[in-house]
Structure 1
């Protein structure tokens, strides 16, 4: 009986391994069947910058390129530089993306960005999900570590960023002005952009000098250009009910 049971166990495990190996895996920059059913859309097709443009400069050639399945910002080039922004506005959503950053790199993802000629940069209206490599000189500043709501709160729960040029996974959720940031599976920030607490926090920083900052619950998503290299892939978004 023991021998039969052992043989049965081996057969089950073998079948499970075969099934796992033969199951289709989601390719980079593509949606799985489950993600399609959940209403996700790709914001980066892995090949082009379709759906993106340079903030306040339109669809022009820049330091941002699609290369090797990555959306990259190349540092130190003669190309035009600036933050890359979506063509669409988004309100209640869940955004997920993978990112890797060079040694001492510093970048970010801005949300609720209002693009207007009288607003000079994406960060003048959009709060930032901070992206930072551990070797950067700001890493010891608690409110500037990766996954933070930049300059407003330290990590809600400790989360480590992977070594330079290794991929990290991030999620941004926003519902009726309430946001949640996730870094490598750990919730690192929460805030309510409707709250008096938020308005007071803005008033106590240099952002108070930018009248549109942090006041919007809908807007574009922007990727920050910086002096060091940054890459993104698997940028996916789905609408959630408000």
Structure 2
């Protein structure tokens, strides 16, 4: 993996941060991208990654990011983790501002990033055989639930973007991978969604026997990038064992039933 370089967005926290660590452990050169420069810098110093602060909802900032990537070296992989949720309102009471932000952060940010970075991926694929894109969506893209419409819609749109991209790149040596996690207990996702209410955020995970961790998702991302180039993981849906479906979550210790033969 020496000399292969990956760009990881959302790198200041959660799955993005864990992915930077996982890829660095495999020997990748990694560029971490996120809005918060101070957290990025600390991660870069600890892991040996590079860092570029960028707000992916700002076209001028993305243009500057792409130019810096072009100037600084090849790009063999894009891992698009950045995004997020705001609010749990019903459709009737939904905040247009929150829904607009979710669409900007999850869909339009992904589109502008792909549009900018594809020429760099093609250049790397031409010289080194193949390139990769990995997109972290959500099981919210697959299954609706009350209070989730804004996030459901945004992640479903992002997931459809990924599926169309895979078809549009057919015939090119560029893999397009989608990872759709269920419940992942991270530092900020639910906290941000619930407006900073830490008590409400922790209640979401209360009693759940081992939710997924950011490191679990990062491990799958790292495998997708290291798999033989003939292998494309079109869609990986991953959940904790305690969550057998989007709406079916066990709270309390997992245990073997004793009322069956």
State the TM-score, normalized to the length of structure 1: 0.30
Quick one: higher RCO (CA 8 Å, sep 6+), 1 or 2?
Answer: 1
Higher helix share: 2
The structure with the largest alpha-carbon Rg is: 1
Higher strand share: 1
State the TM-score, normalized to the length of structure 2: 0.29
